[in-house]
Amino acid sequence: MQLSTNVQSDITKLSFQSLLLEEFLLEPNLRREFGVSEKLAELALRFSDQAAKILHLLIVSKASLPIPPDVIKEVVGWLASQRHTTLIFRSIADVLATARSAQDKYNSCCRSAICHAVVGSYDFAFGALRISASVNDSWARHHHIYGLIHGIENRKAQAQYEFEIAYAYEPYSETKVRIAQALFALSQTTG
């Protein structure tokens, strides 16, 4: 019996999301760092109503701009979401890593890409991966992460391309095993 296309797509997405989550959990100290942006998001959301009211008063009194309070409240809520606090927190980490070395910059951007992808911000993840690729496109890590995101998005050809490059460049056997698992999962998908 054939699975419906939607069910197969959901299974594929879930499979690659679990592989991405495995990378997140295996990355040293990333859960702890991710928790910081999560806590910042919680705090920001807790105080977003008050912050929006204060910001509205400042804008109206100082700039004399007639901006409705609901617009400011929506902007503050948007900024306070975990997706955006992750972006801000990881961007700072990437800038600090850039000051240390190219290898640190590469690693930090890959870690940022994983964080963004875990919260579903694939556009931010791709931005971080482009920076990693600009440091050294013949390193494997960013190709592996690109492949996982393409797998989640059901872009089989792009995922396979990235996984094959990652596998060819990866020097560590335990990581090669995970890339091989991703290639196997990709071979089990239809479409």
* Domain covering 9-28+100-187 assigned CATH 1.20.120 in the classification: no
User: Whole-prediction pTM value?
Assistant: 0.72
Percent of the chain with pLDDT over 90: 41
The alpha carbon of 10 is separated from its chain's Cα centroid by a whole number of angstroms, namely: 19
Sign for the CA dihedral angle at 109, 113, 119, 124 comes to positive
Whether residue 1 has pLDDT greater than 50: no
Length, in residues, of the chain: 191
- 14-28, 74-88, 103-117, 173-187, range with the lowest pLDDT: 74-88
**pLDDT at 69 exceeding the cut of 90:** no
Which letter does DSSP use for residue 61 in this model? I
* pLDDT, tens digit (0-9, with 9 covering 90-100), for 139-165: 999 999 999 999 999 999 999 999 999
76 has pLDDT over 80: no
User: Can you tell me the distance from the alpha carbon of 78 to that of 38, in angstroms, rounded to the nearest whole number?
Assistant: 14
Ranking 40-44, 63-67, 148-152 by mean pLDDT, the lowest is 40-44
Q: What is the pLDDT of residues 171-182, one digit of tens each?
A: 999 999 999 999
d(CA 142, CA 128): 9
Buried b (16+ CB within 10 A) or exposed e, 134-146: ebeeebbbbbbbb
- Of residues 183 and 115, the one with the higher pLDDT is 183
- Residue with more model confidence, 107 or 34: 107
pLDDT at 74: 67
When pLDDT is cut at 50, 70 and 90, the band that residue 88 belongs to is low
